[in-house]
Amino acid sequence: MENVRTAPHPAFRLTQAPLAIPRLKRETHSAERWLFLAAIALTVALTPVMIFMQLQVGFGLALGLLIASILVVIVFFWPVAGIYTMAICAVVVEEGSLPYPIITDHLYVFYWPVSLQGLPERPIGFLALFVLLLVVARNLAGRIGAPVKLGPLFWPFAIFLACVAIGVIHGLTSGGDARIIVLEVRPFWYLFITYLLAYNLVTHKRHAIGLLWITVIGTFFKALQGTYIVFGPLHGHISGLNDIMAHEQSFFFVLVLLIILLSLMLERMRPLMWVSLLSTPFLLIALVANDRRADYVAFLIGLVGVWLFAIVLRPERRKALITAGLISVVLFSGYVIAFRNSAGSLGSVATAVVSVFHPSSADQRDFASNLYRYFEDYDLKYTEKQSPIIGYGFGKPFLQPLVLPNILELDPYYLYIPHNNILWIWMRLGPPGYAAFWYLIAAFLIRAGIIARKLRDPDLRFLAIFGIGAMLIEIPLAYGDYQLYFYRNIFFLGLLMGAIMRLPSLDTPAPADQDSADTTTGGEAHREISQRPVAPAAWMQASLAGRGASAMSRRSFTSGVPAFLYPRIIGHLAITRLRPVWSAFALPARPSLAQAP
């Protein structure tokens, strides 16, 4: 008779599990020694290299290359650090130098130094490509499914990018400049690749919520920088200035204001709200000094959108939300009416909102700005009519039946990329591409709304509604202020879109449902842990099953999520993951608990 080995009783397995802990401790100590020796060897090896590079390319670039090398190693072993890095860069780092240097405007993230200009991709673009290739390589090596998960927005993206490809071909075959074409289509590529990265790498609730914290803390830092500019170089005098920081910075300022109000509406994410409130005095100073009129109007549109969602999702607070909304409308309307002609700082928001719709002839700056945009919009519509089916194509300057002022010194691409990015898409791609663009935006808003309705985790629902508000702010800004061309906005929105589409897989039952699940499925979870093969790190946690088998079952040890995501064993795995290198790609063997020594 064939000898059949039967699995021991679950309780027996769990009592044997602690015997492996001394062996794991010995492995950890050995790995720590090797890691210490490797750090010393790396330091010794890099010292002459850094000295040589400093002599050849300068200290700043040499330091940047060293930081980039360290970042590549970190991302190699912890891929989600890639999207964190891109989010931090989007929130904190400028795309070019500012009139008032603040350090972050001289970091080579979105542009190259003069000695390296001409490369086909920006530094942050190379990072995005590296992370994407890493995701593909890990999935292929681990044989855990498709090389890249495409997500629910793939087909809207595919249709829009197909129209972009037609615009590129049309531009190349009709005299378009290849260099300008790359410049114009790069934001659309960045939006797609960041969506893919976030959808594939956001595998835990803390990854998604981390994007909110990056937004708040990073914008707090930018608000401090803006306050420094106002009271430092400017000595508090901001009248007559067009802006003090990047145009797109005001977009992030109003996002933090949106987070504060959304937290009050949903009564969630209070720590995030308190940090945001702490930044508010500095943020308001920087926002008013930066003086981007369109951001105020866009913020109001986004606020109305999230307010309506809050009314739908919080029926128990519907009456209070409607009352608060109506009172706010009355108070803000009274403020605008009272200060619409004010010349002081207190009325700057009111005058900015009014000037968007009815510019005063007394304010030459606002009047000239609106007139320029009127001429520009007319030229874009005229240009589109020259090729009404497939658009004018990329890489060619739009026609000027109404001649614009020559601002080549301020903006060398002003005849290629206009302020109104919505009409820009229509002019370049024609009605098919224009429809595809709105299909993509509508697909995101609708899916995000459905996700927000179905999510049971209130914090994840908060993120979903915030994403809707961010998009509702971005689109009005794109009508008048380059917002679909700014890489910072595009990276941020792409990551947000991918993370929100991932939220349903991260959702957990409401607290009441969790309690009932703990009492009804504890035995099943206990049996599942004992019968399914698990990774060594998960086996170590399984030895603590007496603390709550149902809680461990929710961690999904065998779901394919990298083991270093579990906080209890992060110290151990931060070392063992480094030995050997190929283990970052290949999935480790998963012995059963019965095989534990």
Of 224, 218, 220, residue with least CA distance to 102: 224
Q: Which residues contact 117 (CB under 8 A, 6 or more apart)?
A: none
- Please report how many Cα atoms fall inside a 13 Å half-sphere around the Cα of residue 131, on the Cβ side: 29
Compute the distance between CA of residue 152 and CA of residue 199 in angstroms, rounded to an integer.
Answer: 10
Give the Cα separation of 168 and 165 in Å (integer). 5
- Distance, in Å, from the CA atom of 470 to the CA atom of 84, rounded to the nearest integer, reads 18
Taking the model in full, what pTM does it have?
Answer: 0.76
Would you list the domain boundaries of the chain?
Answer: 145-506
CB burial class (10 A; 0-12, 13-18, 19+) of residue 382?
middle
Burial 37-54 (b: 16+ CB within 10 A, else e): eeeeeeeeeeeeeeeebe
Contact criterion met (CB below 8 Å) for 466 and 212: yes
**Max CA pair span of the chain:** 102
Instruction: Residue 362: name the closest of 344, 343, 376 by CA.
Output: 343
Provide the residue-wise pLDDT of the chain in tens; the chain has 597 residues.
444 444 554 444 444 445 456 665 655 566 556 655 665 665 555 555 545 544 454 555 666 677 777 888 888 888 899 999 999 999 999 988 888 888 888 888 888 877 777 777 888 998 999 999 988 888 888 777 778 899 999 999 999 999 999 999 999 999 889 999 999 999 999 999 999 999 999 999 999 999 999 999 999 999 999 999 999 888 888 776 777 888 889 999 999 999 999 999 988 899 999 999 999 999 999 998 888 888 888 999 999 999 998 898 888 888 888 998 899 888 888 888 877 776 666 666 777 777 766 666 556 676 777 788 889 999 999 999 998 999 999 999 999 999 888 888 888 888 999 989 999 999 999 999 999 999 999 999 999 999 999 999 999 999 999 999 999 999 999 988 888 899 999 999 999 999 999 999 998 765 544 443 443 344 333 333 333 343 444 433 443 333 343 333 333 333 333 433 334 444 444 444 444 433 433 434 444 434 433
